[in-house]
Amino acid sequence: MPEVVYTTVVNAPQLSIWDFVKDMDNWAPFVTGYQSHEVIDDFDSIWTLKGDVGVLSRVVQFRVHITEWAGPTRVAFTMSGINEQTEGEGLFVMGPTAEAETAPVPPRVPWWRSWRNRVILFWYRRSNPQQTVRVANPAGVAGSQLAFTLRMKSGGVIGPVVDAMIEPMLAPAAEDLANKIANQIEHLESEGARAGG
């Protein structure tokens, strides 16, 4: 099963990340190949994406089901292809950066979840040598980490071939999504700071 993990540093409090990520309308347009999405209820939605499969592209519809709403640290979901035999799952993990560990931990994060996130991130890094990190705040402001995991698997007789063709596309897609989310959160934070004087 092709899998990619991408972690970036967001120069914003973890709660700000959570506030942004928990509403999928905020970041849906940042998904590579995004065409549209329709929210059915708090847990289910239908997404239409235009995805690259090697030298060609296809419009794929997915039913996305949220399997875990664990604010402000985790959102997990599954993806099930409607018009293609493709299944997948995704995971957002938010946590403090190493620099931020000296800063006060947001009060709503249980200690065990924070530690679990660090362990998860450690293993993400160990298991994925392609993992890259967005350039941290040059001013050295303490921030938070946002890790995005995406796994996809294609079914049917030719599933192995489809997986082989989409593998190279996954890492850029995950990186692009995480970085766009980070940039937008930082933009909103700076706008808020300016508005607050």
Partner 1 sequence: MAKTYDIVIVGSGGGGLTAGLVASALGKSAVVLEKGATIGGTFAYSTGLAWIPNNRHMRAAGIDDSAEEAAAHIRSLSGGRHDEALLQAFVANSSEAIAFLEDRCGIPFEMPDSFPDYYSELEGGRVAGRHLAAPIFPAKERLSDQWRAQLTNSPYYAMVPASWKEIQGWGGFGTVATWDWGMLAQRIRDDYRAFGSAVAGWMLDALLRQNVALHVHADVRGLVVDSGRVIGVRASTPAGEEIFEARSGVILATGGYDGNETLKRRWDPHPMTVRLGAPTVDGSGLVMALEQGAAMAMFDGQLLVPAYNIPGEAAADQPLYRLFIRELCFPGSMVVNRKGQRFGDETFYRDLCHEMVHFDPLSQEYPNLESYFICDQEWKDRYPLASVMPGDVPAWMTSADTPAELARKIDVDEEGLTATIAAFNGPAARGEDPAFGRGSTNHGRNGGDPSVRPNPCVRPLAGRLYAVKMALGTAGTNSGLVINQAAQVMHVRGEPIPGLYAAGNVAANLAEGLWYNGGISNAKGMTFGYMAVRHALGAAEVA
Question: What is the torsion angle, in degrees rounded to the nearest 10, for the CA atoms of residue 44, residue 46, residue 50 and residue 53?
Answer: 60
The one among 121, 162, 171, 178 contacting partner 1 by CB under 8 A:
162
- Greatest alpha-carbon span in the chain: 60
Q: Does 56 bind partner 1 (CB under 8 A)?
A: yes
**Considering beta carbons, is residue 51 or 96 the nearer one to partner 1?**
51
Residue 34 has which token pair? 């995004």
For partner 1, the closer CB: 60 or 142: 60
Distance in Å, CB of 162 to partner 1, minimum: 8
Residues 6+ apart with CB under 8 A from 135: none
Among 157, 195, 196, 197, binds partner 1 (CB under 8 A): 157
Contact between 65 and partner 1 (CB under 8 A)? no
Residue (of 151, 153, 146, 145) closest to 173 by Cα position = 151
Min dist. Cβ of residue 65 to partner 1 (A): 19
Query: Which residues partner with 9 through β-bridges?
Result: 145
**Does residue 160 belong to the site contacting partner 1 (CB under 8 A)?**
yes
Task: Extract the tokens encoding 107.
Answer: 């009060």
Return residues touching partner 1 (CB under 8 A): 50, 53-60, 82-85, 156-165, 167
